[in-house]
Amino acid sequence: MSYVADLHTHSPYARGTSSQLTFENMALWARTKGIDLLATGDFTHPKRLAETQETLRETGDGLYELDGVRFVLGTEVNCSAEQAGRHRRVHILVFAPDMEAVASINSALDRHGKLGSDGRPTVHLTPRDLLEALLDINERCFIIPAHLWTPHFGLYGEKSGFDSLAECFGDMASYVPAVETGLSSDPSMNWRVPSLDAVSIVSFSDAHSLPKLGRELTVFRGKPTYDGLLDSLRNQAIEYTLEMFPEEGKYHHAGHRKCGIRLSPQEFAATGERCPKCGRKFTLGVMQRIEDLAGRTISTRMDEDELIHGDDGRPSFRTMVSLRQIIAEALGRGLETKAVAAAYHKLVHELGGELRALTDAPSSTIGQIAGERVAEGVSRARAGNVTISPGFDGEYGRVSIWPETDA
């Protein structure tokens, strides 16, 4: 048994998010995408918690349900505190098995921050102390460090992060079951870091709007229950993760956006840590941080199903471009146009969801429904036959299916 999960979501009460992120809309888009399990998002916010209690139905196994889509009680917090002589800001995903645990968590965290100010609240606790407090409330609570490598809020980020889980969590490190890759890295990059061997490598969307749900996903093996999810995380029981091309993430390479300078690790080594135009320090990219902490190289291979495997038996992954982008490029239309929306909804309706269209549906079937150009685009994306301009210093990268000469 397997199921598809996106466990990093938000509500309208988090800064920078869409007002359309209601549970009804999230359930509708989850069915459109082919997602079985979502996080509720933002249960620390009083209004989101009230909506959770009013809208979702308990399933009796630690999860909740609406319109055929399951939800796990989840939120994201910003841990902001002094640790090891530095002020650190680290984003952590928090999960709870029931409403009683959520009530106790919110009561405890309210003493360390203003929960009603943001769906992603700042709490003045170290990640280690947060984890200890959660386990004291209920030993079935668990955490996942969010977007592990991003410079400003990732646990391994260069601005305020750490060099290992042990450095961050100390005696509590063994209670961390998984880490989230973030949009600027993929599992193979994380496999290079030996200190991550003992944890699951998972990927989720961090969606701030409905269309972004499922842009990264994890397909778990096991039962779609709260305890089943926790067991899968603890034992790396993962079929595969679905990833954006990591170069598309906005912190993949080092650089300085204001001066328009982007550097690969090799270029960074030759240039140094300061911008030659203005003298300011570069924002270190995810690739550079991984180079700094990596203890080995990793060989990968793609099998006939377009799954990417490493050489050590870790769960596989695949990279993909969003179906709406593929259609937009194929049609030569804007991403938000009616023509693209119509083709998208026709394809996912007839194929049973975006995930199936991107990963499993035969190219011939896609061509019959949406045209040969769309089918070719999906085939190119599956094979990694794309053109990429990597992101850096807060600017998203650009992935193109067809080079300009083929457009």
pLDDT in tens, 362-371: 999 999 999 9
283 in a structural domain: no
Judge whether residue 405 has pLDDT over 60: no
pLDDT tier, 335 (very low <50, low <70, confident <90, very high otherwise): very high
Is-contact 37 63, C-beta < 8 A? yes
pLDDT band at 122 (very low <50, low <70, confident <90, very high): very high
Backbone angles phi, psi at 372, to 5 degrees: -65, -30
Sole residue written with tokens 């645990």 = 101
Is there a domain that residue 68 lies in? yes
Q: Tell me, yes or no, whether 310 lies in a domain.
A: no
CA dist 324 → 5, 267, 290, 372, 399 (Å)? 20, 34, 31, 15, 13
Percent of all residues in the chain with a pLDDT value above 90, rounded to a whole number: 95
- Which pLDDT score, from 0 to 100, does residue 161 have? 87
Q: Which of 182, 217, 247 is a domain's end point?
A: 247
Q: What is the pLDDT of residues 264-307, one digit of tens each?
A: 999 999 999 999 999 999 999 999 999 999 989 999 999 988 99
Q: Is residue 259 part of a domain?
A: no
Residue 160 pLDDT? 85
DSSP code per residue over 231-290 = HHHHTT-EEEEEE--GGGSTTSBEEETTTTEEE-HHHHHHH-SB-TTT-PBPBPPHHHHH
pLDDT at 27: 98
**Do the domain assignments include residue 212?**
yes
- In terms of domains, do 232 and 346 share one? no
Residue 312, pLDDT score: 82
Q: Which of 104-113, 227-236, 395-404 has the lowest mean pLDDT?
A: 395-404
Ranges 138-152, 344-358, 393-407: which has the least confidence: 393-407
Contact call for residues 127 and 145 (beta carbons, < 8 A): yes
Q: Do the beta carbons of residue 254 and residue 281 sit within 8 Å?
A: no
d(CA 268, CA 288): 8
Task: Confirm whether 296 is domain-assigned.
Answer: no
Q: How many domains are contained in the chain?
A: 2
Q: How confident is the model at residue 406 (pLDDT cuts 50, 70, 90)?
A: low
For residues 19 and 109, state if they share a domain: yes
Residues 228 and 351 in one domain: no
Q: Label residue 311 by pLDDT band (50, 70, 90).
A: confident
Give me the mean pLDDT over the 130-159 stretch. 97
| Band of residue 332 on the pLDDT scale cut at 50, 70, 90 | very high
- Dump pLDDT digits (tens) for 199-220: 999 999 999 999 999 999 999 9
Residue 238 sits in the same domain as residue 354: no
The alpha-helical segments, DSSP class H, found in 12-74 are: 23-33, 46-55
The answer to whether residue 74 sits within a structural domain is: yes
Instruction: Give mean pLDDT, residues 181-196.
Output: 96
162/19 same-domain check: yes
| pLDDT(256) > 60 | yes
Band of pLDDT at residue 155, cut at 50, 70 and 90 = very high
Q: Does 233 lie in the same domain as 87?
A: yes
Same domain, 150 and 48: yes
Amino acid 320: pLDDT:
95
∠ Cα 336 373 186 (to 5°): 70
Single residue among 199, 224, 247 that ends a domain in this structure? 247
Residue finishing a domain among 208, 232, 247: 247
* Domain interval for residue 46: 2-247
If you write DSSP's letter for every residue of 84-110 in order, what string do you get? TTEEEEEEEEEEESSHHHHHHHHHHHT
CATH code, 183 = 3.20.20.140
Burial of 373: CB neighbours in 10 Å, binned 0-12, 13-18, 19+: middle
Mean pLDDT of all residues in 13-25: 98
Cβ atoms 324, 347 nearer than 8 A: no
C-alpha pair distances (Å), 389 with each of 5, 166, 204 = 29, 35, 22
Q: Is residue 37 part of a domain?
A: yes
Q: Is the pLDDT of residue 377 over 90?
A: yes
Chain segment 51-107, per-residue pLDDT in tens: 999 999 999 999 999 999 999 999 999 999 999 899 999 999 999 999 999 999 999
